Amino acid sequence: MKVIGSTTSFRLSRLAKAFFVCTGLLASSAPIMANSLFFAPNGGVESTGDFLHGVGQDVINDYNDLEFGNNDIDNYSEVNITNATDSLVIVSQVKAGFGRGNKSSVNQTGVSNTAIVGQIGSGNVAYISQDGDGNAAGIGQLGMHGEALINQDGNNNLAVIGQANMIYPSSKLSVNQENDNNIAFVAGSGGADLGISQDGGDAAIINASGAMRIYINQTN
């Protein structure tokens, strides 16, 4: 049995607070599906963009393998930890409804990285890749057929994605963080299609619902 020490508790607390931010964003958008919130002080927002923007082809290939493979009725989860120390991965999957189960994949390389995935529903896909030190990532999915990806290549990055997809169309959300000290909170539902790319010291908070396509590119 692994005993959770003070350092791990701090990392979990950090992610828990971030999840509360995304939960609040989703709750605020529930009454009015057209609500949206964008906060990106160092970058611009354009009306065109797509899921997986800025993500490297090797990560995209891994994601496609996860999405289109292992089409079992049950839940599927894989964790790959390579050349890493003090890694923390928590995955919780609850299948609800008809159709295939949920899928998740977590890949970690480095020191003191934290990844949490929570899925309730069916047909959701969550992918987290961390290469560096002190990164934290969380994906929470509720409903059906949500797609989410977080890629962190650097140090001390924080990214959280929250999805609520009760009916079609479902949302597709991705965060790509390179270099150090990026922060991203993304919440979406109802056909939102978002791709976020950050390149060091950037912050973005986004709540999108409805059939929206948003692209954010932040560079120093």
Q: Name residue 160's amino acid.
A: V
Classify 123 as helix, strand or coil: coil
Dihedral angle over CA of 209, 62, 121, 159, nearest 10: -50
Q: Name residue 95's amino acid.
A: K
Do the Cβ atoms of 77 and 51 come closer than 8 Å? no
Q: Can you say whether the dihedral through the CA atoms of 16, 18, 24, 30 is positive or negative? A: negative
**pLDDT tens, residue by residue, 143-197:** 999 999 999 999 999 999 999 887 767 889 999 999 999 999 998 877 788 888 8
In angstroms, the CA 138 to CA 35 distance is 23
**pLDDT tens, residue by residue, 31-67:** 333 344 445 445 433 333 478 888 999 999 999 999 9
Chain position carrying tokens 């939102």: 192
